[in-house]
Amino acid sequence: MAEPSGWTYRAPAGRTLSGLVGVAALVAGARLGKEHSRVLWTTAVLPDVALLYGIEAAPGFERLPGYAVRPYNVLHSPAVPAALLTLAALTRSRRIAIAGLGWLGHIGVDRAFGYGPRRPDGTRY
C-alpha cells in the first residue's frame, strides 16, 4: 500500500523540517500563551488520546487496533491545527491560536521521530 500524500516524515529532510515546524510551533505557542499555558500543553498531548483509546486492545506499541486507526489519523492530521489556526485568525482568538500551535507542535515532533499516519491494519506506513 502506498504512503498517503502530504507532509513527508520518511526522508531525513522531511523529518528535519517536521522537527523544525514542531519546535517553532511550540515556541510560538509558549510566547503567545506563556510557557505554563494549560491550553498549549493540553493540545500538545491531546492527539495521543487515540493511542489511549486503543491501548488495551493493542497487540503492541507498533500496531493499533483497527477501531483506533481512524481517530488516530484524524487527530494527527495537519488539517486539525490548520483549521484551528484559521479559526483563530478569523475570530482573533489567542486561546484558539495557542491550541492550534500546540497541536501543530505535537504533529511536527511526532513526524520528526518518524510517527505518521497509520495503515488500516494499525501499523505505521
Of 45 and 124, the structure prediction assigns the larger pLDDT to: 45
What's the count of helices (H) and strands (E) in the chain, helices before strands? 6, 0
Per-residue pLDDT tens for 58-70?
666 678 888 999 9
- d(CA 14, CA 12) in angstroms, rounded, equals 5
pLDDT of residue 57: 74
pLDDT band at residue 1 using 50, 70 and 90 as cut-offs: very low
Of 34 and 26, the structure prediction assigns the larger pLDDT to: 26
Global confidence as pTM:
0.88
